Amino acid sequence: MTSKILYHLHSGWHVDQAIVTEHEKLVVIRFGNDNSREAMLMDDLLLSVSEKVSNFVTIYLVDIEEVPDFNEMYELTDPMCLMFFYQNKHMMCDFGTGNNNKLNFLIDDKQELIDIFEVIFRGARKNKGLVVSPYDYSDQRVD
C-alpha cells in the first residue's frame, strides 16, 4: 500500500502542528478513508509527484476515521479529498465544481496535479485566499 510510504498524521494535534509550523511550503493534506479506493489511488498519485514538488509542497495523509477532529469543521464526508494550507491559512481553489474548499475527486494525471499545486502555491505567496484551477472540472460529480 502506497499510503504507508507517505507521512501519516495520527492525531488532531499533529494535523494542527503540520499546518501551523510550515512557513515556506504549501501543506497538502489528503483527508479520507485510508482503505477506500479513491484514497489509495490519490495516494499513489501523490507519491508519484512528491519528489518533484518537494521544494514547495509538503504532503500528509490523514485517515478521517482515526482522526475525526476535523470532519465536521471541514465537512469531510468524502472517501478522499485534498485540502491546501499555507502559513496556517486554508487555501481555496475554484475547480469549477462549486466546492472551493477542497479537491474531492480523482485526478489521474501527474502533471495536472503538479500544475494545481503550483497555481495554489503561487497564489498563496501573493496572499490570495482563493485561486482558480488551471483546469476546469465542472463535469466532475460533486456531492
> What mean pLDDT is predicted for residues 107-130?
97
CA distance 68 to 119: 29
Residue 95 has φ and ψ, to the nearest 5°, of -95, 0
List, for residues 62-101, the tens digit of each pLDDT value.
999 999 999 999 999 999 999 999 999 999 999 999 999 9
> What mean pLDDT is predicted for residues 43-58?
96
How many residues are given for the chain? 143
Secondary structure of 34-80 in HEC code, one letter for each residue = CCCHHHHHHHHHHHHHHCCCCCCEEEEEEECCCCHHHCCCCCCCCCE
